[in-house]
Amino acid sequence: MTSKATYSTQIREEALGLGFMACGFAKARYLEEEAPRLEQWLSNNYQGEMAWLANHFDKRLDPTKLVPGAKTVVSLLYNYYPEEQQHDSEAPKIAKYAYGEDYHFVLKRKLKDLLAFIQTEIGEVDGRVFVDSAPVMERKWAQEAGLGWRGKNTLLLNKKKGSFFFLAQLIIDLEVDYDEPIKTDHCGTCTRCIDACPTEAILAPNLLDASKCISYLTIELKDSIPPQFEGQMENWAFGCDICQDVCPWNRFSSAHQEPAFKPQPHLLEMTSGDWHEMTEEVFRKVFKKSAVKRTKYMGLQRNLRFLKEAED
């Protein structure tokens, strides 16, 4: 009979072959210790208008409610750190993860390929793929799988790879050899991410008020950006990388090799004038397959106007 260790090796090797930078395994269980933390965070309304974060509370904590009979949560990292960045230092900025094709589609395709491999090579295995679009506590599971620890900015950090990577999960009803969770906080006394956040969204180590986060304000918030944030956005028009850019562990970030994440044509060359004069036709062309489409043209225009007004 094939051993659980063999299953782990097969899956990990296939994942790396598909382009993932790391793959780890955690035993599927109810995350009892996370329940009070999540409940307190929600009761403080730190989720802002992201009401869906309060939905499916039990599913968020228990993978067996997402995949009946689940035995394993496979966590994967996928690099998105770009080779080059926006050229005009005065131009409105977008988060590095949005330079190329929307990661949801790219990673979901790869995860489905991985699941198909498992079902072909190992046997009748039931499972589901998850890419930042379902009630899965992805950072916690990645930590349980030994892929990193939670930084003070709440992001998963890896000693060899930093944090410029996507997280993805595969929940399966196959038992494998599990990895040891990382329990050590390697941030030490460093508070660069907390100190650098211009909107003071990081309230304390590993505690984020998402309703103050620039990524939330420019993407998730559908109403007007509150005037209290005027002059604090540091020219971010979609998302924000500040707490990652200042993190010492990201000195180990290296350029990704994913063709789908290559910047859209002319995106990095856009000047400040190009951004503020952008027509809807140009928006559709430049961000054809990009995650920036989430804001729609009017949403991006709202963000750009807010930045412009702060300058004036």
**Catalytic annotation, pick one of 132, 173, 245, 274:** 132
**Angle at 45 (CA atoms; ends 40, 47), nearest 5 degrees:** 100
Beta carbons of 203 and 109 less than 8 angstroms apart:
no
Exposed / middle / buried, residue 155 (Cβ in 10 Å: 0-12, 13-18, 19+): buried
Q: Which of 172, 170, 142, 146 is nearest to 154 (CA)?
A: 142
Which amino acid would we find at residue 302? R
C-alpha separations of 152 from 155, 189, 250, 312 in Å? 7, 10, 14, 34
Distance between CA atoms of residues 136 and 312, nearest Å: 42
Is 58 considered catalytic here? no
Torsion sign, CA atoms 230, 233, 234, 237: negative
Q: Indicate the SS3 state at residue 197.
A: coil
Which H or E run contains 132? Answer: none
Distance between CA atoms of residues 270 and 252, nearest Å: 28
Reading the block at residue 221, the tokens are 């918030």
Q: Which residues are catalytic?
A: 132
